[in-house]
């Protein structure tokens, strides 16, 4: 057997991700169509398809294509029940954990209150619920691909550290080693764990399970105790240098305004955070400020999709229509059409479902880590014989 080098492994992962993304986008394709659309040879496609079927990523639908019977034209699609990602949202007052299929279906979910904010206690409680999810999914014969966690703070991927989570009272908490150890202690098998800000994960719940929506940028604004934006640009989650990108709740709306949880004054959170809305006689007024926040994000990024979610949208249903009107008013003043603002598809589960989607986001972009510094040269001595370029597929 030939020795497989690191670069060959990367090429193989890229090619697998190309096939998976094609199937996600097009729903159903035969091996021949996959070869055609990816530019990979039929033999490479056959080999990879066999592997992906064996690992539960994709399945044959059993319906032979019209042009004739036989394996080459058997339609393939993502497997909807065999494989899942587990996602957790650490909110300020609660904890939500979900198991989500490759096509975005919630297979299992649970929620419990979070009463102790000490990092070790949070890690222990999250780990226990994540292990429960793994066991529930195993009982349904579902394979778990990895774990994603969304939390209300800025997460620095490079160091695995939560830089700043004012509503949890955390600063420079080395969370990744903490949760990795807690998972092992709770009995989890070793698996990939990804952590990100909860607004970022919420954005991925809309982006990764969009069902072929033709856009490579999306912004999700989450309204709860904190207010944050998850930003997808050019098909990648954009988190900034220290994971602080999209902390729109701490953009200043008033000089010398009310004190904010972050230590500054006059932040957006002091106008439309859940605590501010609870204080106001007219919480709908918070919707005007949400409209201001949306206006600022829209003019800064001009994203393909703008989504609003979070508990305040449920508790104060007036804020979203008011925000839309505000945004439309600004657009009319400038003589341009206002963007569409839609509400979260997964409702209160958006961040947890998106945390699961974070696993998929990394799995389908194997070049991500390498391109963070410099693009690695792709060498192809022997297997696999060819490489497709994932850049051409959304």
Instruction: Give CA–CA dist 23/69, Å, rounded.
Output: 21
Residues 6+ apart with CB under 8 A from 87: 97, 98, 99, 100, 147, 148, 149, 150, 201, 352, 353, 354, 355, 356, 357, 358, 359
Query: Shortest Cβ distance from residue 294 to Zn ion (Å)?
Result: 18
C-beta of 182 vs 267, nearer to Zn ion: 267
Residue whose CB is less far from Zn ion, 243 or 366? 243
In the window 223-252, what residues touch Zn ion (CB under 5 A)? 250
Report, in Å, the least distance between residue 167 CB and Zn ion.
10
Binding window for Zn ion (CB under 5 A); candidates: 152-160, 257-265, 282-290, 297-305: 257-265
Choices 114-122, 149-157, 254-262, 386-394 (CB under 5 A): range interacting with Zn ion: 254-262
Convert residues 1-40 into a mask of x (bound to Zn ion by CB under 5 A) and - (unbound). Answer: ----------------------------------------
- Please tell me whether residue 264 binds Zn ion under the rule CB under 5 A: yes
Q: Which of 64, 253, 262, 331 contacts Zn ion by CB under 5 A?
A: 262
Where in 267-296 is the site for Zn ion (CB under 5 A)?
Answer: 267
* Whole-angstrom distance, CA of residue 297 vs CA of residue 299: 6
Q: Which of 260, 276, 306, 387 binds Zn ion (CB under 5 A)?
A: 260
Count the site residues for Zn ion by CB under 5 A: 5
First to last CA, the chain: 35
Nearest CA-CA partner of 144 in 211, 98, 213: 98
Choose between 10 and 260: whose C-beta lies nearer to Zn ion: 260
| Shortest CB 266 distance to Zn ion, Å | 8
Q: Give the nearer residue to Zn ion in terms of CB position, either 37 or 269.
A: 269
* φ, ψ at 85 (rounded to 5°): -115, 150
Nearer to Zn ion, 268 or 338 (CB): 268
Binding site for Zn ion (CB under 5 A): 250, 260, 262, 264, 267
């Amino acid at each position: 057997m030939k020795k497989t080098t690191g670069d060959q492994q990367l090429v193989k992962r890229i090619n697998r991700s190309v096939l998976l993304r094609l199937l996600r986008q097009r729903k159903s394709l035969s091996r021949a169509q996959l070869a055609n659309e990816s530019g990979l040879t039929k033999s490479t496609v056959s080999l990879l398809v066999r592997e992906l079927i064996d690992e539960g990523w994709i399945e044959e639908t059993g319906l032979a294509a019209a042009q004739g019977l036989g394996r080459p034209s058997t339609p393939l699609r993502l497997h909807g029940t065999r494989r899942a990602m587990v996602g957790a949202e650490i909110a300020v007052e609660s904890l939500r954990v979900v198991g989500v299929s490759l096509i975005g279906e919630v297979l299992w979910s649970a929620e419990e209150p979070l009463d102790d904010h000490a990092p070790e206690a949070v890690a222990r409680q999250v780990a226990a619920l994540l292990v429960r999810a793994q066991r529930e999914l195993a009982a349904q014969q579902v394979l778990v691909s990895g774990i994603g966690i969304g939390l209300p703070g800025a997460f620095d991927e490079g160091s695995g550290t939560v830089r700043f989570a004012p509503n949890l009272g955390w600063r420079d908490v080395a969370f990744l080693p903490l949760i990795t150890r807690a998972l092992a202690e709770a009995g989890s098998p070793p698996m990939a764990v990804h952590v990100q800000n909860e607004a970022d994960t919420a954005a991925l719940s809309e982006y990764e399970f969009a069902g072929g929506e033709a856009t490579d940028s999306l912004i999700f604004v989450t309204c709860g105790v904190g207010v944050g934006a998850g930003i997808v640009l050019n098909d990648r989650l954009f988190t900034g240098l220290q994971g602080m990108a999209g902390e729109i709740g701490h953009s200043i709306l008033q000089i010398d305004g009310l004190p904010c949880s972050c230590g500054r004054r006059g932040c957006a959170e002091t106008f439309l955070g859940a605590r501010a809305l609870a204080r106001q006689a007219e919480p709908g007024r918070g919707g005007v400020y949400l409209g201001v926040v949306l206006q600022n994000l829209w003019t800064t990024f001009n994203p393909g999709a703008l989504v609003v979610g979070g508990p305040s949208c449920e508790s104060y249903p007036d804020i979203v229509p008011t925000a839309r009107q505000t945004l439309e008013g600004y657009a009319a003043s400038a003589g341009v059409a206002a963007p569409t603002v839609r509400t979260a598809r997964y409702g209160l589960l958006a961040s947890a479902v998106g945390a699961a989607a974070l696993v998929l986001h990394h799995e389908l972009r194997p070049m991500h880590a390498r391109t963070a510094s410099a693009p690695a040269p792709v060498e192809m001595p022997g297997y696999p014989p060819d490489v497709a370029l994932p850049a051409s597929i959304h």
